[in-house]
A and B are shown apart, each in its own frame.
Chain A
Amino acid sequence: MAIEVRIPTILRTYTDGAKQVEGAGSTLGELLIDLDRQHGGLRERLVDDGGLRRFVNVYLNDEDVRFLAGLDTPVKDGDTVTVLPAVAGGGI
């Protein structure tokens, strides 16, 4: 068993086009480090020094991890993590 991670179109250049990849870890932060070992550069698109980037949404199962514990959110085998680009903008 592993943690399934769904990758949006815009980031599939890091996963050789794969829609779904697998990783391991006990927190979201660890999972992203593990993913980066397999798919170099992916983590940097998702996190910066301050934590999760503003331009992406990351969900554990169906919950936005910003409402959980962000990168410290515990994850376990069988969970699904979904990454979606945030849709935002504005007139100014």
Chain B
Amino acid sequence: MLRVPKQIYDQIVAHARRDHPDEACGVVAGPAGSDRPERFIPMTNAARSPTFYEFDSTEQFQVWREMDDNDEEPIVLYHSHTATEAYPSRTDVAYASEPGAHYVLVSTRDEHETEFRSYRIDNSQITEEPVTVVE
């Protein structure tokens, strides 16, 4: 199960809406081993595309070093789908390399309703998990 603070949930949705129709992506860091997403870090989609996202590699290096220095790890890796459902695509699964992270998918295909779903992706196996928003 993913427990996510309301403020971070809102920030992820706002980022996805802001970048629509391009895909938005980012990280929520938290203390290593805690499973608590606490620090919202929106990332640049270097692909700037409605069908693909890719962290900017230089920005990723800086963010990963910062997390390392703070004893944090990526608790959530999120991105949006802007024309399809919030379910991991084959490309998402091919790239997934953090079996310990929650992969959050947000769909902005509907102008009013935002889908927000979370998955574990381990060894190409997708497992959806419930999302609980906490105050």
Contacts and interface: CB of A to CB of B under 8 A. Distances in A.
B13 interface: no
Band of interface residues on B? 35 or more
Interface stretch (A34-42, A57-65, A68-76): A57-65
Contacts of A9: 98, 100
Contact of B99 (A10, A63, A86): A10
Band of interface residues on A? 20 to 34
B97 interface: yes
Contacts of A63: 58
A50 interface: no
User: Secondary structure at chain A's binding surface: helix, strand, loop or mixed?
Assistant: mixed
A3 B25 CA distance: 33
B61 A84 contact: yes
Given A9-B98, A10-B97, A10-B99, A89 B92 contact: yes
Interface of A: 8-10, 55, 57, 59, 62-64, 66, 82, 84-92
